[in-house]
Chains A and B, each alone.
Chain A
Amino acid sequence: MSIFQNFINSSHSKREFLITLFIKIAGYSAIVFVGMIFIFLLLEGLPAVQKVNLTSLVSSRWYPIEDYFGILPLIGGSIIITLGATLIAVPFGIGSAVYLSEIAPHWVRELLKPLVEILGGLPSVVLGFLGMLVLSPFLRKLLDLPTGLTAFTGAILLGGIAIPTVMSVAEDALDAVPRSYRDASLAMGATEWQTIWRVTVPAARSGVLTAIMLGIGRAIGETMTVMMVTGNAPILPRGIGNLFSPVRTMTATIAAEMGEVANGSVHYHVLFLIGIVLFLISLAVNITASTVIFRQKKRQERILS
């Protein structure tokens, strides 16, 4: 009997061991892959700094055929479009999250939230198509522009792409605020709007912040849509007026030119350098987000202890 018992135990522990091992490998491999991608980027991108001098890199002219490798217009293009998209996605995304979580009747929420999330899964090329055929001609006529393929068009579409991300995450955060906070606030004679604005949203702020950061990340990394609707002219945006002229983003440049570049050429290395810059920008966004959230967590932990 006891031998039999041992047999069962050992087979159990063997299975446990294998499962644990599998999960461990899966976990570590995620880190290894990211590390390998970064090393690859560095190996391919850093030679560009040697081959092109720095003043040329930070100039405002991108014309690789004649060896002008100024990446500032591309960085500027990405930033102006991301800023525009953020300005659209944050108010609308958080607004709709507040509506769904706090105001809408139950059935509306059950219906709308999955719908918006499906919208978030729409392939970006489809949205780009829509932008090219519908939005940009419309904007050209409306604003009387020489072309509808502008930074503004890209910002609107990217904003639209980021809204579901922002909304979904922010709604989860608002939903996690205890019902009792709202009751307490209302019981003190606050109106529904005062309760939302002064209690519920501040209580959910770390989640709302995560939502914003994820939205920004979504917008800055987007390639296909911006390539299709922003006109792709590498012009350094110098002010608000450039919002209505064509720009080119870092992602679009890499996607458009990587296929045609000679392997190992200067142009090739510079494209990878752009990849590094993009990587560093999204890293910075993520680190900012997590430090802010982390700081808040620490404060809460301190309070609770």
Chain B
Amino acid sequence: MNKISIQNYSLQYSDGTESLRNISLEIPANQITVVFGPAGGGKSSLLRVLNRLNDLADVIHQEGNVYLDSVDILSNKLDVINLRRQVGMVFARPVVLPFSIRQNLTYGLEVAGEKDTERLNYAVENSLHKAALWEEVKDRLDDPAIALSGGQQQRLCLARVLALEPEVILLDEPTSGLDPISTGKVEASLQDLKRDYTIILVPHSVQQAARTADLAVFLLQGELVETARGEVMFTNPQDQRTEDYIQGRFG
């Protein structure tokens, strides 16, 4: 049973650009699905459909269906707030909110109505452990989060999402601003996390896609060119365009 099922989905923004064209994709649970391709291909748009963050953008037309555990998430009747708690998102640039480290982690739970201090504290520690950040910040949880380094901030953003105990985690180029060591830490966390979560990652390079993908999806100009297991995709792509991109002939 696939976690997410996207069927014949198309998306058009109000400036006339067609961001996604007739996408059909099955995303399996407890794996890392990597969506890669050159800029402007619709990768971010695709992620933002899955937690309905695209509701805020100037979308003039969309059609097709998207199901999460066979619930139609494009439905008008869907509780979007609840969906966003189930489908967490980490952005390209770490966006820590202008609070302390602890408050960044408890924010999502607090807006959901959680007041129990013990449970909040547990969520803080637990999520920091999962994001491999606990050791570095355990003594300064009440410092402003902006004081952390870029790599720490990005792991804090990941921890913040984990604190909500979502089912799906969307990551939009989470390591684009990070050094190789921080990138390695984030990637290692992802490999641990996939046991409990369904992860969808937009990588910042083909190399990262090849390193992390269980399932790889190649998006080009809003079109889904090819879907394959990671080990197949990066050694033996079927489509000429995929091969050209992976070999670095364009992009």
A190 to B88, CA, bound (A): 12
Stretch at the interface among B77-85, B115-123, B187-195: B77-85
CA gap between A178 and B93 in the complex, in Å:
12
User: What 0/1 readout, one digit per residue, does chain B (163-206) give for beta carbons within 8 Å of chain A?
Assistant: 01000000000000000000000000000000000000000000
* Given contact pairs A180-B91, A181-B95, A187 touches B146 in the complex (Cβ within 8 A): no
Tell me whether chain A's interface is mostly helix, strand or loop, or mixed.
helix
By secondary structure, the B interface counts as helix
* A124 CA / B95 CA spacing, docked (Å): 45
Q: Is A202 an interface residue (CB 8 A)?
A: yes
- CB-based contact B82/A186 at 8 Å: no
* Contact call A187/B97, Cβ cutoff below 8 A: no
Q: Which of A185, A188, A303, A304 contacts B164 (CB 8 A)?
A: A188
Query: Does A199 touch B at the CB level, under 8 Å?
Result: yes
Find out whether the CB atom of A184 lies under 8 angstroms from the CB atom of B111.
no
- In the complex, whether A203 has a CB less than 8 A from a CB of chain B is yes
Q: Is A14 an interface residue (CB 8 A)?
A: no
Contacts of B53 in A (CB 8 A): 183, 186-187
B108 on interface, CB distance cutoff 8 Å: yes
A-B contact count (CB 8 A): 62
Cβ of A29 under 8 Å from chain B = no
* Category for how many chain A residues contact B: 10 to 19
Given A188-B161, A189-B164, decide whether A183 and B95 contact each other with a Cβ distance below 8 A.
Answer: yes
Given contacts A181-B95, A183-B95, A185-B97, contact A190 B144 (CB under 8 A): no
Instruction: Tell whether A51 is near chain B: CB-to-CB under 8 Å.
Output: no
With contacts A183-B53, A187-B88 taken as known, whether A303 is within 8 angstroms of B144 at the C-beta atoms is: yes
Bound complex: CA of A77 vs CA of B111, how far in Å? Answer: 44
Do A189 and B84 have beta carbons less than 8 Å apart?
yes
In whole Å, how far is A229's beta carbon from the nearest beta carbon of chain B?
42
Instruction: Let me know if B71 is at the binding interface, CB within 8 A.
Output: no
B56: chain A residues at CB < 8 Å are: 183, 186
The reply to whether the CB of B155 lies closer than 8 angstroms to some CB of chain A is no
A199 to B95, CA, bound (A): 12
A191 with B111: CB separation less than 8 A: yes
Complex contact B146–A190 (CB within 8 A): no
B114 smallest CB distance to A (angstroms): 11
Q: Which of A184, A187, A194, A303 has the most CB of B within 10 A?
A: A187
A198 on the B face (CB < 8 A): yes
Name the CB-closest residue of B to A300. B146
A203–B145 alpha-carbon span in the complex (Å) = 13
A184 to B99, CA, bound (A): 13
Q: How far is the CA of A303 from the CA of B148 in the complex (A)?
A: 9
CA separation between A135 and B82, bound complex, in Å? 49
The chain A residue sitting closest to B112, CB to CB, is: A189
| C-alpha gap A194/B95 in the complex (Å) | 17
**Complex formed: what's the CA distance from A279 to B148 in Å?**
44
Which of B97, B146, B164 is A184 in contact with, Cβ under 8 Å? B97
Once bound together, how far apart are the Cα atoms of A55 and B111, in whole Å?
Answer: 57
- Nearest A residue (CB) for B170: A187
Chain A 275-302 interface mask (CB, 8 Å, partner B; 1/0) = 0000000000000000000000000000
Q: List 10 A-B contacts (CB under 8 A).
A: A183-B95, A185-B97, A188-B88, A188-B160, A189-B81, A189-B84, A189-B85, A189-B111, A191-B81, A303-B146
Interface residues of B (CB under 8 A from A): 51, 53, 56, 81-82, 84-85, 88-89, 91, 93, 95, 97-98, 107-108, 111-112, 144, 146-147, 157, 160-161, 164
